Amino acid sequence: METTTKKLNGVSKQYILDNITSDDYIEEGQKEPSTDKEKLQFLMDTFKSEYGWAIERYGIYKAFTEWLMGLPSVFSIDFMNYDILQLAKKWGSIPENATERQENKILANWWNFITVKTFQLFNKHHIKY
């Protein structure tokens, strides 16, 4: 039986990969990123291009988290509390009848969680940052 942590790792990382979109950035004739590594490299390159100035100021993790909170068009992750909580329930992070405290913990940690899981993917695919 798959552990909750292992399941959460798998579904969250697939969620991240599935929500990287290059639609607004790829010019005619350019190849759209299709492999996981290409998508992640595109995400990192776009982050550095749009928010690279903040890396020295905040550090790479905090800068990336701040960038995510600005809802970049290349990374269409959930941002509304209701949607985040529904996803957490679907993933088994909290029960269907979660307490307000459990829900608040998920919401407070959402952006950091996505950042950490994204950087785990960057490391797995040897994306330099």
Q: For 4-32, how does the pLDDT look when each residue is reduced to its tens digit (9 = 90+)? A: 788 899 999 999 999 999 877 777 667 78
Residue 66 placed within a domain: yes
Strands of 59-108 (E only): list them: none
Domain contains 26? no
In a domain, 28, yes or no: no
C-alpha span between 23 and 32 (Å, rounded):
8
Residue 24 domain flag: no
In a domain, 51, yes or no: yes
129, part of any domain: no
Q: What is the pLDDT of residue 102?
A: 98
Check if the beta carbon of residue 83 is closer than 8 Å to that of residue 62.
no
- Domain count for the chain, please give it: 1
* Full domain range(s) for residue 102: 4-18+35-124
Q: pTM for the full model?
A: 0.92
Residue 117 lies in a domain: yes
Cα separations (Å) of 13 from 56, 120, 126? 27, 9, 15
**What CA–CA distance (Å, rounded) separates 68 from 53?**
15
| pLDDT tens figures, 78-106 | 999 999 999 999 999 999 999 999 999 99
